[in-house]
């Protein structure tokens, strides 16, 4: 049992997803069971991973270049922990959002299980397969309500995502043509031999893969699908997409940059600067566009682009502090953005409108939700005592250490813009000029009190976690220490 | 022109279709060509001149072993084809829903609504 843990962690949600689809009953209980089981199995490995060990599992006992390897190291442990915890919150919140049928939970579990697959796999073609599975289930989740603009958003994402993954696959093809196997660790080991002979081919492969994943991460010129997809999906799905699905793209980027094309050792030493520039542009673009939005969820979607810029800057700096800050910001952004989207979902449900101008006076009706929203947006801006501040501070100090003072200026300017658009909303909440809030009853039946509890407690819990991490950041940083060590050692044993 | 060059050409044709066409169906056709080009690329990596199908037979060990094409890319592409088909099916289903909603398949006009 202990030997088969890596595959069991992926298989549990997958099997339960199909069970839900056929049983059509007890969907919530079953999906929670699946995710908790995976989380329990993952946590059994905690001590081993935090000591810096790596667990490799060969599927079907086939080792070496022929078989598929699942690898759990510090980095994949960190990301899978994030995905599973976020999954639990999202399932609880979905109970509040609407009475979803079993197919919703099926797609949710399918996406979570394929995310775990992307994270654990040590084989780059397998990574593509799981990534496609993940995106197919997210297309369906975005268009889940089957009406209006969400269909267009889903289609738009499908086109962009399809092109992106074709680029990625072509890049994988170039790698396969050069190396003859697809195992990430083996490719990294033999990289230098091929690099001395086929430098240009490797560059083409690198560019194709980065463009492919760049579409998924929504780097600046490739971001077109994100605002629609993230804002028009149901709120629980928006939280899933903004909170963790985008982070999976960043994870793949880390594996490619630091795993295969070992950023520090070879000719990609200057790639870091490309990512600094792309990150800065993404950051400023996201912040400026968010300022111009009048739709609450669309604003939050652009804010995601903004925060991704900061994460990319952290990786672009590439020093120990920069990577620590970026990884920590991934966790913080996931917590904050999931809680913001939950708040937005509750607000939209209560007021019946997505427009900012209709939010006037909402703070008097739901003071605690507005308080949570305020704390989470403080984290996004980077005000001390909330976790977002810590990671931004680490990235800024890393930028100064590495000799990029301009980056700090850009981050600060973007933070000011971020403050402008979040405070615009918070001021509106307490605007008393008109009490124009339409008291719309939630459509259909009266909500049961149990469902309301399920809607509210995830928000409060996430707010609590973000304040806790803001005051005691060492808990988060200890968790990602093995991951940072791994990235800096370039994965090659 | 080797198959590899041809597959790269197909890749760009598919990309042109996805980017430049306004009709949703034509976009999906472009996406399918894009997918097919990567499949062709992988298959032609594993192909050798005069290579035979990689099926092991008893008498092969006695004679000089004939050149076989590489089976690994073929196995990989089987998976990629299945995924490509499911993405296409999903896209067409979405198009049906979009048409029911808007009675229109032109992306320029759809984005205005």
Query: Which chain A residues are closer than 8 Å to B37 by Cβ?
Result: 166, 170
The CATH number for B10's domain is 1.10.287.3510
CA B94/CA B108 separation, integer angstroms: 17
| Portion of chain A with pLDDT greater than 70, in percent | 93
Q: Which long-range contacts (CB under 8 A, 24 or more apart) does B90-93 make?
A: B90/A136, B90/A139, B90/A140, B90/A158, B91/A155, B91/A158, B91/A159, B91/A162, B91/B28, B91/B31, B92/B28
Domain annotation covers residue A149: no
Cβ–Cβ below 8 Å for A170 and B41: yes
Quote the mean pLDDT of chain A.
86
C-beta of residue B106 within 8 angstroms of C-beta of residue B22: yes
Residue count of chain B: 113
Query: Which chain B residues are closer than 8 Å to A132 by Cβ?
Result: 83, 87
Nearest chain B residue to A166, by CA? B35
Q: What is the dihedral of CA A340, A342, A346, A351, to 10 degrees?
A: 40
pLDDT at A436 > cutoff 60 = no
Mean pLDDT of A400-426: 89
- The minimum CA-CA distance between B91 and chain A, rounded to whole Å, is 7
Q: Which domain holds residue A408?
A: 268-493
Residues A327-381: tens digit of each pLDDT: 999 999 999 999 999 999 888 888 888 888 877 777 777 788 888 999 999 888 8
Higher pLDDT pick, A138 / A270: A138
Nearest-by-Cβ selection for A159 from B18, B38, B80: B18
Nearest-by-Cβ selection for A151 from B27, B34, B94: B94
Higher pLDDT pick, B1 / A409: A409
CA A399/CA A313 separation, integer angstroms: 9
CA B92/CA B87 separation, integer angstroms: 9
Domain annotation covers residue A119: no
Residues A305-325: tens digit of each pLDDT: 999 999 999 888 878 888 899
pLDDT at A444 > cutoff 60 = no
- The minimum CA-CA distance between B62 and chain A, rounded to whole Å, is 26
Domain annotation covers residue A297: yes
Q: Which of A135, A163, A222 to mutate to test the interface with B (most CBs of B within 10 A)?
A: A163
CA A414/CA A356 separation, integer angstroms: 21
Task: Provide the pLDDT confidence category of residue A476 given band limits of 50, 70 and 90.
Answer: confident
Nearest-by-Cβ selection for B38 from A133, A146, A166: A166
Q: What is the dihedral of CA A492, A78, A123, A117, to 10 degrees?
A: 170
pLDDT at A262 > cutoff 80 = no
C-beta of residue A337 within 8 angstroms of C-beta of residue A304: yes
CA B34/CA B39 separation, integer angstroms: 9
Q: Does B80 touch chain A (CB under 8 A)?
A: yes
CA A308/CA A30 separation, integer angstroms: 33
- The minimum CA-CA distance between A33 and chain B, rounded to whole Å, is 29
ipTM over 0.85: yes
Cβ–Cβ below 8 Å for B91 and A147: no
Residues A107-137: tens digit of each pLDDT: 999 999 999 999 999 889 999 999 999 999 9
Query: Residue A426's closest CA among A384, A367, A385?
Result: A367
Cβ–Cβ below 8 Å for B35 and A129: no
Q: Does B29 touch chain A (CB under 8 A)?
A: no
The pLDDT, as a whole number, for residue A433 is: 65
pLDDT at A426 > cutoff 80 = yes
pLDDT at B32 > cutoff 60 = yes
CA B102/CA B113 separation, integer angstroms: 9
C-beta of residue A90 within 8 angstroms of C-beta of residue A338: yes
- The minimum CA-CA distance between B73 and chain A, rounded to whole Å, is 9
Q: Which domain holds residue B43?
A: 3-112
Domain annotation covers residue A447: yes
Cβ–Cβ below 8 Å for B27 and A151: no
Can you name the residues that pair with B106 across neighbouring β-strands?
B23
Sequence-distant (≥ 6) Cβ neighbours of residue A191 within 8 angstroms? A260, A261, A262, A266
Residue count of chain A: 493
Task: Provide the pLDDT confidence category of residue A437 given band limits of 50, 70 and 90.
Answer: low
Nearest-by-Cβ selection for A155 from B11, B73, B91: B91
Q: Which of A159, A160, A222, A225 to mutate to test the interface with B (most CBs of B within 10 A)?
A: A159
Query: Which chain B residues are closer than 8 Å to A140 by Cβ?
Result: 90
Nearest chain A residue to B18, by CA? A159
Cβ–Cβ below 8 Å for A143 and B11: no
Q: Which of B19, B29, B76, B92 to mutate to test the interface with A (most CBs of A within 10 A)?
A: B76
CA A338/CA B56 separation, integer angstroms: 54
Query: Where would I find the H helices in A292-404?
Result: 296-317, 320-351, 362-365, 367-381, 387-402
Q: Does B11 touch chain A (CB under 8 A)?
A: yes
The pLDDT, as a whole number, for residue B56 is: 76
Q: Does B98 touch chain A (CB under 8 A)?
A: yes
The pLDDT, as a whole number, for residue A416 is: 92
Task: Provide the pLDDT confidence category of residue A88 given band limits of 50, 70 and 90.
Answer: very high
Nearest-by-Cβ selection for B41 from A133, A140, A173: A173
Q: Does B91 touch chain A (CB under 8 A)?
A: yes
Mean pLDDT of A245-255: 91
- From chain B residues 59-78, the ones with a CB under 8 A of any chain A CB are 73, 76
Supply the DSSP symbol for A493. Answer: -
Domain annotation covers residue A340: yes
pLDDT at B71 > cutoff 80 = yes
Quick check: helix, strand or coil at residue B52? strand
Q: Does B44 touch chain A (CB under 8 A)?
A: no
Cβ–Cβ below 8 Å for B91 and A132: no
- The separation between the first and the last C-alpha atoms of chain A, rounded to the nearest angstrom, is 26
Can you name the residues that pair with A57 across neighbouring β-strands?
A70
Residues A391-401: tens digit of each pLDDT: 899 999 999 98
Q: How many domains does chain A have?
A: 1
CB pairs under 8 A between A and B: 72
Query: Residue A254's closest CA among A323, A204, A300, A307?
Result: A323
Cβ–Cβ below 8 Å for B110 and A158: no
- The minimum CA-CA distance between B34 and chain A, rounded to whole Å, is 7
Cβ–Cβ below 8 Å for A159 and B27: yes
CA A212/CA A187 separation, integer angstroms: 19
Q: How many domains does chain B have?
A: 1
- The minimum CA-CA distance between A148 and chain B, rounded to whole Å, is 7
Query: Which chain B residues are closer than 8 Å to A163 by Cβ?
Result: 15, 18, 31, 34
Supply the DSSP symbol for A489. Answer: T
Mean pLDDT of B15-29: 92
Q: How far is CA A460 from the centre of its chain?
A: 20
Q: What are the angstrom distances between the C-alpha of A366 and each of A20, A137, A238, A299, A362?
A: 35, 34, 22, 21, 6
Task: Provide the pLDDT confidence category of residue B16 given band limits of 50, 70 and 90.
Answer: very high
Q: DSSP string of A61-73? A: G--TTTS-EEEE-
């Amino acid at each position: 049992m202990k030997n088969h843990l890596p595959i069991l962690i992926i298989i549990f949600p997958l099997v339960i997803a199909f069970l839900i689809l056929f049983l059509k009953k007890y969907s919530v209980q079953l999906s929670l069971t699946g995710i908790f089981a995976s989380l329990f199995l993952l946590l059994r490995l905690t001590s081993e991973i935090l000591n810096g060990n790596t667990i490799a599992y060969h599927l079907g006992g086939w080792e070496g270049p022929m078989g598929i390897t699942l690898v759990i190291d510090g980095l994949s442990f960190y990301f899978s922990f994030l995905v599973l915890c976020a999954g639990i919150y999202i399932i609880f919140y979905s109970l509040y959002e609407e009475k979803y049928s079993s197919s919703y939970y099926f797609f949710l579990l399918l996406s979570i299980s394929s995310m775990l697959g992307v994270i654990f796999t040590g084989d780059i073609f397998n990574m593509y397969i799981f990534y496609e599975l993940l995106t197919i289930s997210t297309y369906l989740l975005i268009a889940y309500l089957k009406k209006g603009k969400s269909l267009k958003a889903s289609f738009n994402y499908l086109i962009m995502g399809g092109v992106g993954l074709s680029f990625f696959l072509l890049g994988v093809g170039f790698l396969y043509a050069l190396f003859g196997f697809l195992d990430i660790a083996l490719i990294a080991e033999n990289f230098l031999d091929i690099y001395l002979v086929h430098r240009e081919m490797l560059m083409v492969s690198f560019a194709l893969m980065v463009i492919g994943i760049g579409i998924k991460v929504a780097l600046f010129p490739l971001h077109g699908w994100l605002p629609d997809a993230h804002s028009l999906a149901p709120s629980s799905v928006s939280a899933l997409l903004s909170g963790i699905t985008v982070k999976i793209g960043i994870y793949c980027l880390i594996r490619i940059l630091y795993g295969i094309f070992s950023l520090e050792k070879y000719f990609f030493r200057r790639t870091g600067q490309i990512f600094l520039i792309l990150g800065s542009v993404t950051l400023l673009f996201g912040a400026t566009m968010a300022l111009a939005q009048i739709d609450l969820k669309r604003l939050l979607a652009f804010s995601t682009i903004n925060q991704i810029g900061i994460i990319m800057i952290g990786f672009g700096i590439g020093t120990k502090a920069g990577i620590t800050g970026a990884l920590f910001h991934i966790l913080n952004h996931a917590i904050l953005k999931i809680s913001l989207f939950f708040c937005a979902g509750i607000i939209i449900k209560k007021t019946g409108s997505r427009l900012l101008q209709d939010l006037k006076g909402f703070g008097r009706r739901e003071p605690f939700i507005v308080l949570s929203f305020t704390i989470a947006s403080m984290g996004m801006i980077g005000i001390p005592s909330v976790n977002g501040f810590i990671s931004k501070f680490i990235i800024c100090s890393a930028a100064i250490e590495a000799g990029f003072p301009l980056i700090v200026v850009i981050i600060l300017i973007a933070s000011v813009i971020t403050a402008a658009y979040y405070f615009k909303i918070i001021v509106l909440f307490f605007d008393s000029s008109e009490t124009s809030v339409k008291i719309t009853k939630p459509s259909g039946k009266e909500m049961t009190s149990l469902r309301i509890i399920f809607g509210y407690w995830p928000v409060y819990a996430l707010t609590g976690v973000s304040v806790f991490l803001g005051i005691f950041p060492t808990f988060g940083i200890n968790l990602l220490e093995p991951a940072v060590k791994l990235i800096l050692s370039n994965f090659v044993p | 022109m080797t198959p590899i060059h041809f597959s790269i050409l197909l890749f760009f044709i598919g990309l042109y279709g996805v980017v430049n066409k306004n009709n949703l169906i034509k976009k999906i056709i472009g996406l399918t060509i894009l997918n097919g080009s990567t499949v062709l690329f992988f298959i032609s990596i594993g192909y050798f001149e005069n290579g035979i199908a990689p099926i092991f037979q008893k008498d092969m060990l006695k004679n000089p072993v004939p050149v076989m094409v590489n089976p690994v890319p073929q196995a990989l592409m089987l998976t990629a084809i299945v995924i490509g088909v499911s993405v296409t099916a999903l896209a067409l289903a979405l198009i049906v829903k979009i048409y029911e909603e808007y009675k229109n398949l032109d992306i320029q006009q759809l984005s205005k609504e």
